[in-house]
Chain A
Amino acid sequence: MRWRFSPARLFAVLSKEFVQMRRDKITFVMMIGVPIMQLLIFGYAINSDPRHLPTLVEMADEGPVTRAILSGMQSSTYFDFQGIVTSPEAGDKALRDGSANFVVVVPPNFERDILRGLSPEILLSADASDPTAVGGGAAAMASIINTAVTQTLTGPLSYAAGTPPPISVVIHRQYNPEGNTSINIVPGLLGVILSLTMVMITAVAIVRETEKGTMEALIATPVRPLEVMLGKILPYVLVGYVQTIVFLIASQVLFGVPFIGSRLAFFVGFNLYIVVNLALGFLISTVARSQMQAMQISFFTLLPTILLSGFMFPFAAMPGWAQAIGSAIPATHFLRLVRKVMLKGADITDILGDLTNISLIMLVIVAVALKRYRQTLD
């Protein structure tokens, strides 16, 4: 029959969309520019190796080893000593109000206990609410102490430098026990960027047709809903590809984020994620009456994506209702998927569960979108 799905018509819609995209220079620049911008801006927050973080010391003892440790910390450039606190309460307060990222606590009789081989504990309290900030310093602690020990426990004191280790380091991460690392945030950012641009661009591109009145003439022709839907969505899949490639390169070059898992798994996962976001954009376009509304609704969907997907806060630490909402968000599953693949070396069989979840969400969205998108102006 003549009015069945026509690839030729789909292709016509596609190429029209590309021409329009090319002519709309500002949007085009935004599509590529926004992800780079976001990456750079977030780059400060996710800078995996920040230095000169304000540090306080609570000293209940003093001696050559303590001095060597403190000077080693200072010269590691991770820590920047700002002063001394005299009580645990004062240290906690400084961490809480953000005036310090670290508090080093040297316990009483520290020097004596080292020499007695009691392996006293030196405590590094860190404000881990910004886990990326404190990760580097915390990690460097062990080697700083090692160096300090080998420098000071020489000659007659060298007996104390052996086993058991003369000093044990206790790192106390406050406010964020899960301690997401910087590397954890980068893949999440990909989910957020893709979601923002894909949902918004699709919704706006479609609503623009309604707002400018071109939709009326378009659907007065024999074009089928599926042809319009695919024709408008597919060009932005390509945009999603470009964004992802730009993003992957930038995150590797600028932040040294590894990619150790299966590329195929990533490819499958991110395609699915792009499609689900485009479908969501399409759904929004069937609700929004103007480009402005489309934009606002898109931003509205962005909030849970950022807050409840595990991007901002550890998913496991969220209350039950928030987890329930989060589970319905594609980004939640995409985040897990990407972290597994990029950071934990997962392959396709490891992410089947996440793929299934995203597919289910997509089915629901597409079903609602197709139901709402009618070939009429009602």
Chain B
Amino acid sequence: MTAELAISVRGLTKIFDGRKVVDDFDMEVPKGAIYGFLGPNGSGKTTTIRMMCGLLTPDAGAGHCLGFDILSEQNSIKENVGYMTQRFSLYADLTIRENLDFIARMYRLNSRKSRVSEALVNLGLADRANQLAGTLSGGWKQRLALAACMIHKPALLLLDEPTAGVDPKARRDFWDEIRKLSAQGVTVLVSTHYMDEAVQCDFIAYIAYGKKLIAGPASDIPGMIGLHTWRVTGPALADLELALRKDPDVGQVARFGAVLHLSGTDKAKLLALATRYNAEGVYTWVHKEAELEEAFIYLMTGVEDNFVSTKS
């Protein structure tokens, strides 16, 4: 079974200062998949990734990463995994080339010089190789960090918000690159806050307050939640939006330009509402398949409620 799984962890738990930051977390990432890891700020994504690549010791739980035990074979994991940290973690006072070269030396790569030069060319930084890394713009730093964690051609990439602060064009290039790698059999676990990136993933796990809420193939997620969505068009949408937000039958209202998307799990109530509005004739309500976007917005709102109820 582990043969097809790049990552398989069970019951991962991490406690910081008496607080369960990651709580009984399971995850299975098939080889060659692009696995999206989503969740609000502070939900435990970074902590989970660190435990999977041997940088943090879990307080409970076990598992394998590329077939190596995450508790006892961290060294083998490190040899074969490329981990891109959320925070820029290359040396600001070394040049771009020196940074790549240093990382390459850590992996003791053969033909290091050519690998570094190749990475520089791919990155489009060949002519700026001698610039200090600290003087790069935020987006370029991210791209450099990505190049650095891929320099040893790892079988598994753990990317912690790799595209934060990267412009749309570069993000598209980045995702093209990810898909290319995935086609070559590289497994990618990527955490992100961007919907448009989440929809590009084959699988998705959503974590909140350290607990996994949902996980599965991206296309199954809306169905797993049991979400029903209506698409509403018409005049003065803002007023309608305000009114609907107060309506307890409507789970969630999201505005997409000149369109409102209403979603909820109680299909009957929403249907009644739609029929009523359609009868009035001012707004047009059309039932549509719930998509990932709605699913995420729904998940996040749900999490907030959940948090409020646990707090009080």
Residues of A within 8 A of B (CB): 2-3, 6, 8-9, 12, 16, 19-20, 23-24, 212-223, 375-378
Contacts and interface: CB of A to CB of B under 8 A. Distances in A.
Contacts of A219: 55
B145 to A, nearest CB: 8
Given A12-B105, A222-B107, A376 B78 contact: no
Interface stretch (B84-92, B119-127, B304-312): B84-92
A259 to B, nearest CB: 39
Interface in B65-111: 74-76, 78-79, 81, 83, 85, 87-94, 98, 102-103, 105-108
A216 B75 CA distance: 15
B30 interface: no
B88 A376 contact: no
Given A221-B107, A377-B56, A216 B102 contact: no
A217 B93 contact: no
B53 interface: yes
Contacts of B182: none
19 contacts: A2-B79, A3-B76, A6-B108, A8-B105, A8-B108, A16-B91, A16-B98, A19-B98, A23-B93, A212-B89, A216-B87, A216-B89, A218-B106, A221-B106, A375-B54, A375-B74, A376-B54, A377-B50, A377-B55
B117 interface: no
Contacts of A217: 83, 85, 89-90, 103, 145, 148-149
A12 B102 CA distance: 7
B265 to A, nearest CB: 39
Contacts of A212: 89, 92
B85 A20 contact: no
Contact of B56 (A19, A218, A378): A378
A229 to B, nearest CB: 15
Nearest to A220: B83
Interface string B29-62: 0000000000000000000001001111100000
A360 to B, nearest CB: 32
Q: Which 3 A-B pairs have the closest CB atoms?
A: A12-B105, A217-B89, A221-B106
Interface string B210-254: 000000000000000000000000000000000000000000000
Nearest to B50: A377
B98 A12 contact: no
A20 B93 contact: yes
A16 B57 contact: no
B147 to A, nearest CB: 13
Most central of B103, B105, B148 by chain A CB within 10 Å: B105
